[in-house]
Chains A and B, each alone.
Chain A
């Protein structure tokens, strides 16, 4: 309808147009949300991904000089255990999503339960990894056996440290959830911890096929 057909006071009309413009502007701004959690964790995530990314590429190029050694050594790894650990990490990431969803609904008890489930799965990941390490060390394999095992042990141990760090972060969040420090309106810390845990999962998504599958 053309504006001239609307019979309203001029000052009101102006306010209406301004109001509409403000609403449109708000809608445009809200189309993209802020990053979940603290911005600093995202800088940390990018830095960690960069370090791991460089190590992945170095592994791939180191392999191209000793393909036989890498392929033979890789076949001694348990792909079933690698797959099991991948499913454990993916499931733990899903639990974290549910924990964030629960706190956004104001259910801090449920959120804490999902995070405790995540920590339990993190513990399972650590147990499987330690079993794998024990198997290799028992067979007399060390960092010095060959370049493949050097990369395998270093990369997976470095990643394992991040899993342990994530478990500690999530345990702190559970403690704060139990204390009622987070709510539907204030759950910044939960999102920050969740983002870190997802990064651990994201890195394993490349690490698993690179070390266990591709040859």
Chain B
């Protein structure tokens, strides 16, 4: 059981590293623009959810806590997007 959980955590870690490299490549290769900004923010949202739910272990607790973390990323990310789109 523990081995399975550890293997799952390793997969999540790998996904986070791939998403980070993806963010770096977007920053290096792609010219700045609204699509790039929104894509990078979306990647951050996904990474945040992976860390909160699988590393912090929030997937086992009340939906309220998962909602708070998701809401945080949506609100902060959304406000950043609004500021950049202005």
Contact stretch, chosen from A89-97, A126-134, A164-172: A89-97
Least CB distance, A55 to chain B, in whole angstroms: 10
Once the chains bind, are A206 and B56 in contact (CB under 8 Å)?
Answer: no
Q: Is the interface of B mostly helix, strand, loop or mixed?
A: helix
- Checking A46, A80, A86, A90 against B13 with a beta-carbon cut-off of 8 angstroms, the contacting residue is A90
Select the residue from B26, B32, B43 with max chain A CB neighbours within 10 A: B32
Number of interface residues of B (CB under 8 A): 48
Residue pair B68, A46 in contact (C-beta under 8 Å): yes
Chain B CB within 8 A of A187 CB: no
Contact in complex: B2, A205 (CB < 8 Å): no
Q: Is the CB of B48 within 8 A of A205?
A: yes
Complex: how many Å from CA A210 to CA B48?
14
Tell me the bound Cα distance from A147 to B30 in angstroms.
25
Instruction: Establish whether residues B32 and A83, one from each chain, have CB atoms under 8 Å apart when the complex forms.
Output: no
Q: Give the CA-CA distance A158 to B39 in the complex, in Å.
A: 26
- Also in contact, A206 and B48, with CB within 8 A (given A94-B9, A214-B41): yes
The yes or no answer to A10 lying at the interface (CB within 8 A) is no
Q: How far is the CB of B37 from chain A (nearest CB, A)?
A: 5
A93-B55, A94-B10 known; A213+B27 contact, CB < 8 A: yes
Count of CB-CB pairs between chains A and B under 8 Å: 122
If the complex has contacts A35-B65, A57-B76, are A213 and B83 also in contact, measured as CB distance less than 8 A?
no
The CA of A96 and the CA of B5, in the complex, are separated in Å by 13
Contact pick for A36, options B13, B20, B37, B56, CB 8 Å: B56
Partner of B72, one of A33, A53, A60, A212: A53
A32 with B32: CB separation less than 8 A: no
Contacts of A79 in B (CB 8 A): 24, 27-28
Residues of A with C-beta under 8 A to B41: 209, 214
Spell out B's residues near A (CB within 8 Å). 2, 5-6, 9-10, 12-13, 16-17, 20-21, 23-24, 26-28, 32, 36-37, 40-41, 43-44, 47-48, 51-52, 55-58, 60-63, 65, 68-69, 72-73, 75-77, 79-80, 83-84, 86
Q: List 19 A-B contacts (CB under 8 A).
A: A32-B60, A33-B61, A36-B56, A36-B61, A53-B72, A60-B84, A79-B28, A83-B23, A90-B17, A91-B13, A94-B10, A98-B6, A101-B5, A105-B2, A198-B55, A202-B69, A208-B23, A213-B23, A214-B32
